């Protein structure tokens, strides 16, 4: 049995979430996210392409899907909204740990590390704003 890393586990979890969100919302963003997640799993053996997808697209997808799931939970369980918001604030940072550990950790050049850090910060900062569109 092969050992699965955290990023691959999160890819599978987000793939299931993407299918559920496409079925629930019929949103073009959800469909594009589903396609990118499938592409990421298909090109996993190509390390460079997988790392590129992991750095550019996966943080955005993970954060946006997490936000959509939290909003769906609030719609379903409005009485639990305070607990859901606490989970939301903690989860917003935790959700990108696998990407940071696996993909960003493999970057060797300092300039690319800096660019990846800036991209990650922007993704976390504007993720909730993008969802309002």
pLDDT in tens, the chain (133 residues): 445 688 888 999 999 999 999 998 888 888 999 999 999 999 988 988 998 898 889 888 988 898 888 888 999 998 998 998 888 888 877 888 888 888 888 888 888 888 888 888 887 777 665 555 4
pTM across the whole model? 0.83
Query: Contact, 55 vs 70, CB < 8 A?
Result: no
Q: 20: exposed, middle or buried (C-beta count within 10 Å: 0-12, 13-18, 19+)?
A: middle
Angle between helices 81-94 and 58-76 (to 10 degrees): 170
| Residue where the block lists tokens 């970057």 | 107
């Amino acid at each position: 049995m092969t050992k699965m890393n955290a990023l691959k586990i999160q890819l599978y979890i987000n793939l299931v979430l993407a299918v559920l969100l496409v079925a629930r919302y019929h949103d073009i963003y959800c469909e594009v996210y589903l396609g990118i997640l499938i592409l990421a799993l298909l090109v996993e053996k190509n390390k460079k392409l997988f790392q590129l997808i992991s750095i550019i697209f996966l943080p955005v997808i993970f954060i946006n899907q997490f936000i959509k799931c939290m909003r769906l939970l609030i719609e379903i369980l409005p009485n639990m909204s305070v607990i859901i918001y606490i989970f939301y604030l903690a989860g917003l940072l935790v959700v990108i740990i696998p990407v940071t550990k696996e993909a960003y950790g493999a970057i060797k050049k300092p300039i690319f590390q800096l660019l990846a850090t800036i991209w990650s910060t922007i993704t976390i900062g504007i993720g909730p704003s993008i969802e309002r569109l």
